[in-house]
């Protein structure tokens, strides 16, 4: 799991192969949100800047924007979430991914938190 990085807003980004990376929300995030009931995904082909609002996730009690962890073009979205948003709670790192982007600059990921740093970060939040 060395290729996974996190933002302080609890998105994760994982490099799949070369220039394409998968974006989702962390296990901590799905747990804090509670039962996810709706996910709004970006359009395929949209070019995102790092930090830009890219998606929305709603639970019964909360709504949260999902920001692009890195710049790039959206190349795939997980349409299964539209039908069954519960996957986000059940399998956030696997089938509960949100979208994939073609990274503009893989170097941006170096600014994000790695696994250990994120674990420390959420422990400090609690």
Partner 1 sequence: MRYLPLSDADRAEMLARIGIDSIDALFADIPQENRLSGDLPLPRHQGELAVERHLRALAGRNVPAASVPFFVGAGAYRHHVPATVDHLIQRSEFLTSYTPYQPEIAQGTLQMLFEFQTQVAALTGMEVANASMYDGSTAAAEAVLMAHRLTRRGKAVLSGGLHPHYAQVVRTVSSLGGHATVTLPPDVAAGEDLAAHIDDDTSCVVVQTPDVFGNLRDLRAVAEAAHARGALLVAVFTEAVSLGLVTPPGATGADIVVGEGQSIGNALNFGGPYVGLFATRTKYLRQMPGRLAGQTLDADGRRGFVLTLSAREQHIRREKATSNICTNSGLCALAFSIHATLLGSEGLRRLALVNHANAVALAEALATVGGVAVLNGTFFNEFTVRLPRAAADVVEELAGRGILAGVPVSRLLPDAGLDDLLLVASTELNTADDRAALADGLREVL
Partner 2 sequence: MLNDQGRPTAPVRNGDDSDTRGTFTGNRALAQEEALIFEIGRVGTTGVDIEEPTAFAPRLGGLARQDGIGLPGLSEPEAVRHYVRLSQQNYGIDTGLFPLGSCTMKHNPRLNEALARLPGFADIHPLQPLSTVQGALALFDELSRWLRELTGAEAIALPPKAGAHGEFCGMAAIKAAIAARGEAATRTVVLVPDSAHGTNPATAALLGFSVRPVPARADGTVDAAAVAAALGPDVAAIMLTNPNTCGLFERDVRAIAHAVHEAGAFFYCDGANFNAIMGKVRPMDLGVDAMHLNLHKTFSTPHGGGGPGAGPVALSGRLAAFAPLPYLKQDGETFTLVEDEASAREAGAAPLGRLTAFHGQAGVFVRALAFMLSHGADGLRQASEDAVLNANYIRASLGNLMSVAFDRPTMHEVLFDDAWLKGTGVTTLDFAKALIDEGYHPMTVYFPLVVHGAMLVEPTESESKASLDLFIATLRDLAHSALAGETERFTGAPHYAPRSRLDETRAARQPVLRWAPPP
Binding site residues, partner 2, CB under 8 A: 9-10, 29, 32-35, 37-38, 58-64, 85-86
Q: Which helix (H) or strand (E) holds 25?
A: strand 20-25
Min separation Cβ 101 and partner 1, Å: 22
Provide the β-strand partners of residue 72: 48, 103
Which segment (33-41, 87-95, 101-109, 118-126) binds partner 1 by CB under 8 A? 33-41
- Residue among 1, 24, 31, 50 at smallest CA distance from 122: 31
Query: What is the rounded distance in angstroms from the CA atom of residue 97 to the CA atom of residue 82?
Result: 12
Say whether residue 86 binds partner 1 (CB under 8 A): no
Residue 65 or 120 having the CB closest to partner 1: 65
Phi, psi of 70 (to 5 degrees): -150, 165
Q: How far is the CB of 58 from partner 1 (least distance, A)?
A: 4
Residue among 37 and 47 whose Cβ is closer to partner 1: 37
Q: What number of other Cβ atoms are within 10 A of residue 36's Cβ?
A: 25
61 contributes a contact to partner 1 by CB under 8 A: yes
CB 12 within 8 A of CB 23: yes
Residue whose tokens read 């394409």: 20
Task: List the one residue from 8, 44, 62, 86 that touches partner 1 (CB under 8 A).
Answer: 62
Position 63 contacts partner 1 (CB under 8 A): yes
Nearer to partner 2, 61 or 123 (CB): 61
């Amino acid at each position: 799991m060395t290729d996974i990085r996190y933002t302080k807003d609890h998105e994760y980004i994982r490099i799949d192969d070369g220039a394409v990376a998968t974006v989702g929300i962390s296990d901590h995030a799905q747990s804090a949100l509670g039962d996810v009931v709706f996910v709004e995904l970006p359009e395929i082909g949209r070019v995102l800047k790092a930090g830009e609002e890219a998606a929305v996730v709603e639970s019964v009690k909360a709504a949260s924007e999902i920001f692009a962890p890195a710049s790039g073009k959206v190349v795939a979205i997980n349409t299964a979430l539209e039908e069954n948003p519960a996957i986000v709670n059940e399998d956030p790192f696997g089938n509960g991914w949100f979208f994939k982007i073609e990274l503009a600059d893989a170097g941006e990921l170096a600014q994000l938190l790695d696994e250990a740093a994120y674990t420390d970060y959420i422990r400090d939040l609690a």
